[in-house]
Structure 1
Amino acid sequence: MSGAVKRTSEFLRDVVKELKRVSWPTRKELTRYTGVVVATVIFIAIYFAVVDMGISSLVRLILG
């Protein structure tokens, strides 16, 4: 059991080391990135809604 505990604690120490090396974004960058993601999701949702309405209208026209 002590081998598993030793490996786990070594893993957690390595995780902390790696997290200290991470280049975290500033608040301004994070806000900008979030805005880009939200705008992209909204654009794609509108695009697919329009395409869906077009296909639905075409199917209704064909089926009568």
Structure 2
Amino acid sequence: MASITQFFRNVSSEMRKVSWPKKKELTNYTITVIITVAILALFFTGTDLVFSRLIEFLLGI
């Protein structure tokens, strides 16, 4: 039981050392992630569409 208690004390100690982002930084990171995900979604949608059409053309469906 003592090791569990010591573990949570160590976790608490380490969490106080963490450098948390400011609100502006967090907003910028969030916008960057959303834009990146949207671009990748469009890319993979386009790639899927092209390959689907290509396979349909080659198979004569």
What's the TM-score once normalised by structure 1's chain length?
0.90
CA distances 1:4-54 after superposition (whole Å, capped 9, x unpaired): x11111111100100000000001101110110111011000000000000
Q: Corresponding residue for 2:35?
A: 39
Matched, 1:29 2:30: no
Q: Corresponding residue for 2:8?
A: 12
What's the TM-score once normalised by structure 2's chain length?
0.94
> Could you list the runs of 5+ residues in structure 1 that have no partner in the other structure?
none
Equivalenced residue count is 60
Q: Percent identity?
A: 40
- Aligned-residue CA RMSD (Å): 0.6
**For residues 6 and 59 of structure 2, what CA distance do their matches in structure 1 show?**
66
> Could you list the runs of 5+ residues in structure 2 that have no partner in the other structure?
none
